[in-house]
Structure formats: C-alpha cells, structure tokens
Structure 1
Amino acid sequence: MNPFVFTLTFVSGFSIMAVELLGGRLLAPYFGSSVYVWGSIITIFMIALSAGYLLGGHWSMHHPSLRKFSFCYLAGALTLLPLVLLGDPIMNQVFLYIHDPRYGSLLAALLLFFLPTLILGMIAPYSVRLLVTDSESSGKTAGKLYFISTLGSALGTLATSFYLVLWFDINTILFTLIGILCLAGVIAYTFPMRHKLFRENYEA
C-alpha cells in the first residue's frame, strides 16, 4: 500500500500548486496581477491548508481507511468545479461591489479557493495516519510523505507555469485536474477490494 499512498499524496501536492498558480490567471482580468492579488491568493491557500491539516489529522483518528481517504479526492474534484462553472459570475459580483484590488481579490480567492484547498489539505495528515504502524517509524514516514507531497507541489508549479498555461486554456487544465482527482478517488475507493481479490487469488 505504501507506493500507492505515496502516489496519491504526490497527486494532491501537484494539484494544489497547479490550482494556486491558475488562481492568479483567473483573478487577473478583474483585479490585475499585482502583489496585492498574489498576497490574497497565497494567504487564502495558507489558511485553507492549515485548516485542512488540522481537520485531516482529526478525521484520521476515526477508523482510517483508503475508502474514507478516497472521499478527499472526490470532494476536492467536486469543489473545483465552481472555478470552471461559476468563476466568472462570482468574480463579476465581487468586482461590482468591491473595486479595491486588495479586498476584492481577497474575497474572490476566499470564495473560489478556500474549500477545495481545505479538502486537499486534509490528504497529507490522513496519508501519514494510513501508513504509520508504530511510534518509532512515525517521524520517518511523515518525513517521506511530506517530501513526496512537496515534490509534487514543486513539479506542479513548474509544469503549470512553464508549460500547461502555454499549451492549454485555464478551463482545460482545471477539467484535467478534476479528472485526475476523480480517478485517484475512484482507484483509492476500489483499491482495498482489488488488493483483497489479488491476495485471495495468490493464496489459492
């Protein structure tokens, strides 16, 4: 199960940073791309991730399983859909009432990015709980998981900023991320069943 959970953690790290970078492109037509806008986006992501870490750690204490874990990916994908379907209407309404790019971008980032980032932030601490089997190895396991997650974030940053935004439009990238998260969630949900069948066939 270890390589599988590590792969899922990599996917979440990649997705988080890809969405954060796309956030700047989404808000730019309405609020510009100044340091105020990026400050708003980074602030919302940091707050959402910190809340996600807290909730994910708490949730992982209640009978952790890969099937429960899969819901983080499915819910993350679902909450990214409003960025594609409702992003422009939401930002139009915010811009209509708040012209100051500081507070307008902060509110828009809160409405668009807080919930999906919070849910994706739950993945890292839940991953640790799935893999830790004893207190002696907990630090090593957590270190590996956060290494994989951060590596995914770094590659997500480079891939999105260097290539994806040049090759595809924003909605195409977002739909692709949503599809990847859905696929990860479905695989995580069915993995225990596949693993059990494999073991039964092997033992037979």
Structure 2
Amino acid sequence: MGIELLGGRILAPYFGSSVHIWGSIITVFMLSLSIGYLVGGRLSIHAASLSRYGLIFLIAGFTVLPVVLWAEPIMEAIFIRVEDSRYGSFLASMALFFIPTIILGMISPYSVRLLVTDKERSGQVAGMLYFVSTLGSAMGTIITSFYFVLLFEVNTIIYAFSSLLMILGLAAILYQRFVISSSHNLPGVTVE
C-alpha cells in the first residue's frame, strides 16, 4: 500500500493528481495483485518451501527498484507520446507498477500454503493472514502518508521498501537453509 500511495506523488509531475490519475493507479494495482494471487497460488502447489517464499520477496524487492531508477525517463517518454493524461497515467502506472505488484501479490497465497498444516484449520489460517495483511497495509498507508512523506523523499522511501523486502527474503532463505535444515536432523522432526 505504501508504494501505491506514493504512486500518486510519482506520477503527479507529469500527469497531475486528479481522480482519473488515482483511478489509473488503483486499477493497475488491483489488476496486478489479482494476477499475482493466481500465480502465487499456482506456485504454492509445487514443492512450497520457505526458500522459494524468500525468493519471491527478493524478486519483489528488485522489481521495485525501477520505480526509482527509471521513473523519470519512462514517464517523460509516455508524457510526450500520449496527450490524454488518463491514458498516459494508465500506461505509466502499468510500466512502473505492474510487474512489482504481481510479484507482491504472490506473497499472500504462498503464505497461506506455508501456514496451513491442517485442512480443517485452513479457513482460520487464511482469515488470520488476511487480517494481519490488511492491518499491516493500513498501518503502512498511515505511516507513509502521515510521517514518511514528511521526513523523507519519495525515492528514499521506495529504496527502504525495496531493502526491507530483500532483507525479509534473505531472512526466510537463511532460516530455511540453516535453522530448519539443522532441525531436520533431529529425531521426530520433519521438514516439507
């Protein structure tokens, strides 16, 4: 949600901040999240592991970086070629946010797969995960809009989000590799 919220500020210098700009941003995020949910659900079926989960976070962190590194030339090229700010903002949103948001959308269904150990409790696990996820999104939105934008430049915030995703990804991979692998050697402990 923090990246989506910052999307308005990123696009504003070229396309303004009217309701159709926000419509473009929200549409791209909803579309790409829905695709990410499908892909993440599909990936979670085949040999789900904490290492693969961590890899999703790492890829998400890397795919967020072009928002900082290439936003200006991308928006400028679109702005020059597309006169209508509605379509220009939609194309710019697609170029900047589509891929990273698909990857971010993969996290939720993959999380459900890793957390569900008993099909009888799958609904409860999914409900708790979506509760935590939505609460985290709300907190991320309020903290970003009330504090981060006052204290830091947009690019700094995006770099921080990217770094956090990569750190979480590395933590998951290292946890799988060293903690879970070493406990696999203990009697009575199984690893999926």
Task: Give the TM bin, normalised by the shorter chain.
Answer: over 0.9
Q: So what's the TM-score if we normalise by structure 2? A: 0.94
Q: Which runs of 4+ in 1 moved over 4 A?
A: 200-203
**1:82 matched to 2:66:** yes
Q: So what's the TM-score if we normalise by structure 1? A: 0.88
SS at 1:113 equivalent: helix
**1:72 matched to 2:56:** yes
Q: Which residue of 2 aligns with 1:13?
A: none
User: Displacement, 1:198?
Assistant: 6.3
Letter in 1 for 2:63: T
Deviations 1:27-82 (A, max 9, x none): 00000000000000000000000000000001100010000001111111111111
SS at 2:156 equivalent: helix
Aligned partners of 1:200, 1:69: CA distance in 2, in Å?
A: 19
1:54 pairs with 38, 61, 69, which one? 38
Letter in 2 for 1:102: R
Q: Which residue of 1 aligns with 2:129?
A: 145
Aligned partners of 2:163, 2:157: CA distance in 1, in Å?
A: 10
**1:160 matched to 2:144:** yes
User: Displacement, 1:121?
Assistant: 0.3
SS at 1:111 equivalent: helix
SS at 2:45 equivalent: coil
Q: Which residue of 2 aligns with 1:24?
A: 8
**1:115 matched to 2:94:** no
The percent identity for this pair of structures is 55
User: Displacement, 1:184?
Assistant: 0.3
Which 5+ residue runs of structure 2 have no aligned equivalent? 188-192
1:183 pairs with 149, 153, 167, which one? 167
**1:44 matched to 2:28:** yes
Aligned partners of 1:173, 1:166: CA distance in 2, in Å?
A: 11
Aligned partners of 1:171, 1:143: CA distance in 2, in Å?
A: 34
Which 5+ residue runs of structure 1 have no aligned equivalent? 1-16
Kindly tell me the number of residue pairs found equivalent between the two proteins: 187
User: Displacement, 1:157?
Assistant: 0.5
Whether the 8 Å contact between 2:51 and 2:177 is mirrored in structure 1 is no
Letter in 2 for 1:161: S
User: Displacement, 1:196?
Assistant: 3.3
SS at 1:64 equivalent: coil
SS at 1:60 equivalent: helix
Q: Which residue of 1 aligns with 2:158?
A: 174
Letter in 2 for 1:95: F
Aligned partners of 1:55, 1:89: CA distance in 2, in Å?
A: 30
